Amino acid sequence: MKRKAQKGMVHMDKGAESKGKEALKGRIHIYWGDGKGKTTAALGLALRAAGRGKQVVIARFLKTEDSGEVFLLRQVPGIRLLPCAKSFGFTFQMDEKIRQEAALFYGGLFSQAVREAKGADLLILDEILPACQGGFVGKEKLEDFLAFRDPALEVVLTGRKPWEELILMADYITQMNMIRHPYQQGILAREGIEY
């Protein structure tokens, strides 16, 4: 930061002070697309932040507890991984009753994540985009949270296609495109790689 000395006093240059405040502002990240790597990128950022002593909250939507990262993330100091205690199967296979149960559960998980994020430095909402697009979490609730969150809170959203309002709000947008995937040859998800 540039400083100006004036009669024995040190004053910060207003431009430098403004840039310093901007650097402390929390940003919104979106990792999206049909390619592999959205969750991997988000969790890499979680580990980087925790490694610098920051407090991280992670909420996972439309997933199960049976994924390799879950076991280790629960042991990392500074990371609070909210349990995804219920699984409802694939969204396209849900009947109306299951969809309503899932909406209650995921809506509650979102509310818990928002509460837990108070005082945190980084909040990761993994697969929140399809949770909103499937009607399990209100899009407006997510948008309102992002608009009125603590200005220092960094937030990561993952999923398929973000809608226009989120695109306008985001500071980082990274798209993962699938060029080739073993799934295309009928190879199922592999433990330790896909889950």
pTM exceeds cut of 0.75? yes
User: What distance separates the 2 farthest-apart alpha carbons in the chain?
Assistant: 75
Q: What is the CATH number of domain 29-179?
A: 3.40.50.300
HSE-CB for 67 with a 13 A CA cutoff: 22
More confident site: 86 or 124 = 124
d(CA 68, CA 191): 7
Pair 28, 146: CB distance under 8 Å? yes
- CB atoms < 10 A from the CB of 173, how many? 14
**Residues 6 or more apart in contact with residue 7 via CB below 8 angstroms:** none
Helices and strands: H and E segment counts in the chain = 7, 8
Q: Where are the domains of the chain?
A: 29-179
Q: Residue 32 phi/psi, 5° resolution? A: -140, 165
DSSP category for residue 187? P
Q: Which helix (H) or strand (E) holds 175?
A: strand 172-175
* 15 closest CA partner among 27, 4, 7: 4
- CB atoms < 10 A from the CB of 40, how many? 14
73-118: pLDDT as tens digits: 999 999 999 998 888 888 888 889 999 999 999 999 999 999 999 9
127-182: pLDDT as tens digits: 999 999 999 999 999 999 999 999 999 999 999 999 999 999 999 999 999 999 99
